[in-house]
Amino acid sequence: MSRSNDRRDERGRPDGQRSDNRNTSGRPSNNRRDDRGQHEQVNRRDVGYEIRDPRIPDDITPEDFDKGMSQELRSLPEGLQILVARHLVAAERAMAEEDFDLATEHVRAARRRASRISMVREACGIVAYKSGRFGEALTELRAVRRMAGGDQYIPMIADCERGLGKPQKALDYIRTIDTTKMLAETRAEMMIVAAGARGDLGELDAAIVTLQIPELTRLNPGDTRARLQYAYAMLLKDAGRANEAREWMERAAGSDIDGATDAEEQCSLMDGIEFSEED
């Protein structure tokens, strides 16, 4: 499962508002695939009951495995490597189609066979996170950080605390992080979460100051810069600073190369123009 851009878009909404429409807020809609009910039966004597695995599409073959996946799974027996990798690829496909239930089945099938592989635990954490199961995601992502290290999980771990209704705990966790060697993109994502937590606590002015960081203008155009500028614009809007909010929302739209936010729609709304899905 890809390790890039595994972030909920609603981190770009530090006002704490969450929507069930993933296209604008990062929350999934429960679209189901036609093969949802097709399973393979696996008998597991160690648990004493029958587990039904989701069916893996026949067209997923070892040619679909990236090099990193193959390397991480090489400690498993060859046949198990292939099975686990196919489940992870199937989960990634399901995620792309926003079928989070099916993705969950695939990553859990992989976890039953390879719970000591950090990539598998990471996939479980990301799927749980994007599905809104923050307690489960927190457990998995903490485990991944212990197993593999790295800062890339920090924003998600903090956001899980926020998702569990614990914004102060999210801020306390962020304060423990040494950011001196952190990638600028990761730091920006972390500060979006911090601003969101401040917003959850009703500390709007502090939330605005939290996002007044160099990355606001220095990051290259792309998802992270767009989310950061979007979050800043929404905070300014909430503070009644309409002109500044419109300016930063326009910047967010210009930074948003791949449609990570609904910044263009927000610009239209700020201008008093009704947005049409057909536009």
Total tally of structural domains belonging to the chain: 2
Rounded distance, CA 103 to CA 73, Å?
19
Rounded distance, CA 124 to CA 165, Å?
21
Q: Is residue 140 part of a domain?
A: yes
Mean pLDDT of the region 240-269 = 96
Report the CATH number at residue 112: 1.25.40
Q: Is residue 30 part of a domain?
A: no
Instruction: Please give the pLDDT value at position 52.
Output: 81
Q: Is residue 34 part of a domain?
A: no
Mean pLDDT of the chain: 85
**Residue 142 and residue 205 in one domain:** no
Rounded distance, CA 252 to CA 188, Å?
14
**Residue 144 and residue 174 in one domain:** no
pLDDT tens for 1-42 read: 654 444 444 454 554 444 333 333 333 344 444 444 444 444
Residue 224: partners with Cβ closer than 8 Å, 6 or more residues away: 185, 188, 189, 215
Q: Of 123, 149, 175, which residue sits at a domain end?
A: 149
Q: Of 122, 149, 176, which residue sits at a domain end?
A: 149
**Residue 264 and residue 211 in one domain:** yes
Percent of all residues in the chain with a pLDDT value above 70, rounded to a whole number: 79
Quote the domain boundaries for residue 187: 167-271
**Residue 172 and residue 84 in one domain:** no
pTM of the model: 0.80
